[in-house]
């Protein structure tokens, strides 16, 4: 796979873009003319800078408004093209993108455009240049790759070919399988971009909302399968116009871009194994069987507050690590680790973020294979010291520096090998499993996080929902990969509960953990007896759900008495209650799902957030 990224896809100055593309292991770049013009380097210097970064210039673009013009505009367009061919020679690239015209004077006509390109082909050929023609989906006369291909076919010139761009094809809902009929050697270049499914003007959508493949809702995999089936063997290039990326960090944008391409091509070969995808073999998406543990990083002075909070939720300390300052707290099938080591990864996490979740342990069929896949997708392996008789548990780093570990279900158990258990697992308050893990990040980072989960785990995303915090909007997206459910909460404002959590913890990620119970009324009562700092929900909320769902008044009484929130879908119900946010911002949630309910009670989130903001006062865990 020859990977390429357009300079327009990356933020920063020209040199920053090159450094980022190199660090992310791209093979080549497309020079977007505007980036070149804005830079202060001569064309020869730019060419040398690119090659000094180990990169090729695979394409120069765009050349606008060429075909179908009347005289004298037509001659002017040819003269302009020759100037750009001169520039390309100095840059050191032989392929240029001509996009379909939006010029008000452009005349239609497939043959007229073909004649113009054929004539241009002779000029280009004399200079060893190839011209690729791309249909912009808002082009004046040509807005469909099938028409662009017909023009290229009629131009019938070896130096004139087609350029495909997934956005232009998929935005117009053109069937990508029509690409399978195009000879692969006439496709000179392929640009890729995804986008979220939002109805809007095509040009505006393209210029502001493109995303990396897999981060949006378009079928970029179907598009790329068709391109490969056509016999295309050239570079695949990311051409992403995106407002968020423009203000992002060059290296992170480039890294996500490379990850998205590797993931895309892996998906292509898994969908159509006969296609010749040039990518080293690595294991498929990691299927998560369970959440085996969640570890909190803390320090001896802070552990007491956290442990008191866990005890109030029905957990009991049942054992300790053989060689480390780590206690095991349990109830039902849930294992929580409280790590107060004075060295190592957890300690560093505590120093950076305060008390909070530092690691999540997942059971998978092939732990080592999971790490292998993740490293091919650019996630660093996460090694942790272990004693001679202790398990080496492979792991990776998540997006914000959090860690994930992979364990075999049922194999030599971590609990038997690394831990001394002093008592059996208690029933506690009836929590049986981790239901989901809620991570919080700046809104601009959300796509990075979701790509991490969708690429490594093959996770499914549900639709993004807007949650109104009294002080700003929070976007929430649920991600599911087998037994791993994660909700991502992107804070737009620093004053939202989510935004403040990020500030207060210096970028910690897990803001809350949700546990599942099979009897939420019994669990809520048992936790109340243990002094759980439940979040109080006001009467207006209960009046509303009684009206909205036609709730039986007796049920309304029961849920209200225990501060349980309620949601339902045609196939099932969802009951949930929360703790107050603890100093530092962490909180817990308890849920019960019935029937086929798959959501997270999103309609309740604004009321929960408002209640949390009202309830803010120190309780439970002391602040650091």
| DSSP code of residue 623 | P
| Complex with ligand DHB: residue 93 or 191, whichever CB lies closer | 191
Task: Find the DSSP H helices in 236-361.
Answer: 243-246, 250-271, 300-312, 344-353
- Annotated ligand binding at 274? The verdict is no
Q: How far is the CB of 36 from Mg ion (least distance, A)?
A: 17
Q: What gap in Å lies between CA 565 and CA 559, rounded to an integer?
A: 7
Q: How far is the CB of 206 from ligand DHB (least distance, A)?
A: 5
How many CA atoms does the CB half-sphere of 305 hold within 13 Å?
Answer: 20
- Annotated ligand binding at 511? The verdict is no
Q: How far is the CB of 36 from ligand DHB (least distance, A)?
A: 14
- Annotated ligand binding at 589? The verdict is yes
Spatial CB neighbours of 544, under 8 Å, sequence gap ≥ 6: none
- Does residue 165 interact with Mg ion by CB under 5 A? yes
Q: What gap in Å lies between CA 384 and CA 393, rounded to an integer?
A: 8
User: Which option in ligand DHB, Mg ion, none does residue 194 bind, with CB closer than 5 to 8 A by kind?
Assistant: none
| Complex with ligand DHB: residue 65 or 341, whichever CB lies closer | 65
Q: How far is the CB of 61 from Mg ion (least distance, A)?
A: 7
Over the window 92 to 131, marking each residue x when it contacts ligand DHB by CB under 6 A and - when it does not, the resulting string is -----x-x--------------------------------
Spatial CB neighbours of 187, under 8 Å, sequence gap ≥ 6: 161, 162, 163, 164, 179, 227, 230, 232, 234
Planar angle of CA 76, 77, 82, nearest 5 degrees: 95
Q: How far is the CB of 520 from ligand DHB (least distance, A)?
A: 51
| Interaction residues for ligand DHB, span 201-220 (CB under 6 A) | 206-207
- Annotated ligand binding at 94? The verdict is no
Beta strands in 332-462 (DSSP E): 334-339, 356-364, 395-397, 403-408, 419-421, 431-442, 460-461
Q: How far is the CB of 105 from ligand DHB (least distance, A)?
A: 18
User: Which option in ligand DHB, Mg ion, none does residue 61 bind, with CB closer than 5 to 8 A by kind?
Assistant: ligand DHB
- Does residue 134 interact with ligand DHB by CB under 6 A? yes
Q: What gap in Å lies between CA 496 and CA 471, rounded to an integer?
A: 5
- Annotated ligand binding at 239? The verdict is yes
Q: How far is the CB of 225 from ligand DHB (least distance, A)?
A: 20
- Annotated ligand binding at 41? The verdict is no
Spatial CB neighbours of 207, under 8 Å, sequence gap ≥ 6: 241
User: Which option in ligand DHB, Mg ion, none does residue 62 bind, with CB closer than 5 to 8 A by kind?
Assistant: ligand DHB
User: Which option in Mg ion, ligand DHB, none does residue 579 bind, with CB closer than 5 to 8 A by kind?
Assistant: none
| Interaction residues for Mg ion, span 182-211 (CB under 5 A) | 191
Q: What gap in Å lies between CA 222 and CA 178, rounded to an integer?
A: 11
| Interaction residues for ligand DHB, span 227-286 (CB under 6 A) | 239
Considering only 62, 367, 499, 583, the residue that binds ligand DHB (CB under 6 A) is: 62
> Which 3 state secondary structure label does DSSP give 361?
strand
Which of these ranges, 42-50, 235-243, 262-270, 586-594, lies near Mg ion under the rule CB under 5 A? 235-243
User: Which option in Mg ion, ligand DHB, none does residue 266 bind, with CB closer than 5 to 8 A by kind?
Assistant: none
Percentages (nearest 5) of helix, strand, coil residues in the chain: 40, 25, 35
Nearest residue to 318 via CA among 456, 422, 210: 422
Phi/psi at 434 (5° precision): -80, 120
| Complex with ligand DHB: residue 160 or 313, whichever CB lies closer | 160
Q: If phi over 0 gives left and psi between -120 and 50 gives alpha, with beta otherwise, what is residue 584?
A: left
Over the window 136 to 175, marking each residue x when it contacts ligand DHB by CB under 6 A and - when it does not, the resulting string is x----------------------------x----------
| Complex with Mg ion: residue 63 or 419, whichever CB lies closer | 63
| Complex with Mg ion: residue 145 or 516, whichever CB lies closer | 145
Q: What gap in Å lies between CA 447 and CA 287, rounded to an integer?
A: 21
| Complex with ligand DHB: residue 29 or 346, whichever CB lies closer | 29
Structure tokens of 20?
């980022």
In the block, tokens 């019960």 appear at 592
Spatial CB neighbours of 171, under 8 Å, sequence gap ≥ 6: 137, 195, 202, 205, 206, 218
- Annotated ligand binding at 295? The verdict is no
Over the window 20 to 59, marking each residue x when it contacts ligand DHB by CB under 6 A and - when it does not, the resulting string is ----------------------------------------
| Calculated CA dihedral for residues 420, 426, 428, 430, nearest 10 degrees | 120
Site residues (CB under 5 A) for Mg ion? Answer: 165, 191, 239
- Report the binding-site residues: 134, 165, 191, 239, 436, 512, 589
- Report the binding-site residues for Mg(2+): 436, 512, 589
- Report the binding-site residues for a divalent metal cation: 134, 165, 191, 239
Site residues (CB under 6 A) for ligand DHB? Answer: 61-62, 97, 99, 134, 136, 165, 191, 206-207, 239
């Amino acid at each position: 796979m020859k990977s390429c990224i357009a300079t327009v896809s990356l933020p920063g100055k020209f040199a920053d873009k090159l450094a980022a593309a190199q660090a992310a292991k791209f093979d080549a770049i497309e020079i977007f003319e505007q980036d070149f013009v804005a830079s202060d380097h001569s064309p020869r210097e730019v060419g040398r800078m690119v090659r000094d970064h180990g990169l090729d210039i695979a394409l120069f673009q765009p050349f606008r408004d060429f075909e179908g013009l009347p005289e004298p505009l037509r001659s002017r367009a040819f003269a302009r093209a020759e100037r750009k061919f001169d520039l390309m020679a100095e840059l050191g690239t032989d392929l240029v993108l001509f996009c379909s015209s939006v010029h008000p004077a452009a005349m239609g006509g497939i043959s007229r455009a073909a004649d113009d390109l054929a004539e241009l082909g002779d000029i280009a050929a004399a200079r060893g240049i190839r011209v690729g023609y791309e249909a912009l989906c808002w082009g004046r006369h040509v807005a469909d790759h099938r028409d662009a291909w017909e023009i290229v076919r009629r131009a019938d010139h070896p130096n004139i070919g087609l350029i495909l761009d997934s956005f232009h094809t998929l935005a117009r809902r053109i069937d990508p399988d029509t690409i399978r009929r195009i000879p692969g050697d006439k496709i000179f270049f392929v640009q890729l971009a995804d986008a979220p499914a939002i109805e809007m003007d095509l040009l505006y959508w393209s210029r502001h909302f493109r995303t990396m493949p897999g981060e949006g809702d378009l079928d970029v995999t179907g598009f790329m399968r068709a391109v490969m089936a056509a016999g295309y063997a050239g570079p695949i290039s990311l051409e992403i116009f995106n407002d968020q990326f423009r203000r992002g960090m060059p290296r992170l944008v480039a890294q996500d871009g490379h990850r998205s391409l590797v993931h895309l091509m892996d998906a292509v070969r898994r969908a159509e194994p006969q296609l010749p995808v040039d990518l080293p073999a690595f294991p498929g998406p990691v299927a998560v069987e369970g959440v085996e543990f969640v570890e909190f990083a803390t320090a001896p002075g802070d552990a007491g507050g956290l442990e008191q909070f866990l005890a109030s939720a029905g957990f009991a300390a049942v054992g300790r690590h053989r060689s480390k300052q780590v206690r095991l707290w349990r109830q039902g099938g849930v294992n929580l680790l409280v790590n107060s080591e004075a060295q190592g990864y957890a300690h560093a996490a505590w120093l950076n973020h305060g008390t909070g979740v530092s690691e999540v342990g997942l059971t998978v069929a092939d732990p080592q294979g999971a790490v292998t896949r993740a490293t091919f997708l650019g996630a660093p392996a996460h090694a942790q010291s272990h004693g001679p008789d202790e398990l080496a548990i492979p792991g990776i780093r998540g997006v914000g520096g959090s860690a994930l570990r992979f364990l075999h279900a049922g194999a030599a158990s971590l609990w038997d090998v690394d831990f001394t258990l002093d008592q059996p697992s208690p029933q506690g308050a009836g929590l049986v499993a981790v239901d989901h893990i809620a991570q919080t990040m700046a809104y601009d980072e959300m796509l990075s996080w979701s790509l991490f989960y969708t690429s490594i785990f093959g996770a499914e995303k549900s639709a993004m929902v807007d949650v109104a915090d009294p002080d700003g909007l929070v976007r929430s997206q649920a991600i599911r990969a087998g037994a791993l459910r994660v909700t991502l909460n992107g804070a737009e404002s620093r004053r939202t509960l989510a935004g403040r959590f990020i500030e207060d913890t210096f970028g910690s990620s897990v803001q809350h953990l949700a546990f599942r119970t099979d009897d939420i009324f019994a669990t809520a009562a048992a936790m109340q007896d243990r002094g759980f700092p439940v979040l109080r929900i006001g009467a207006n909320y209960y009046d509303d759900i009684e009206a909205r769902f036609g709730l039986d008044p007796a049920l309304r009484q029961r849920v209200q008495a225990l501060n349980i929130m309620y949601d339902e879908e045609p196939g099932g119900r969802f009951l949930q209650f929360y703790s107050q946010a603890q100093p530092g911002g962490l909180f817990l949630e308890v849920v019960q799902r019935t029937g086929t309910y798959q959501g997270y009670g999103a309609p309740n989130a604004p009321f929960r957030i408002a209640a949390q903001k009202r309830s803010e006062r120190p309780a439970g865990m002391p602040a650091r």
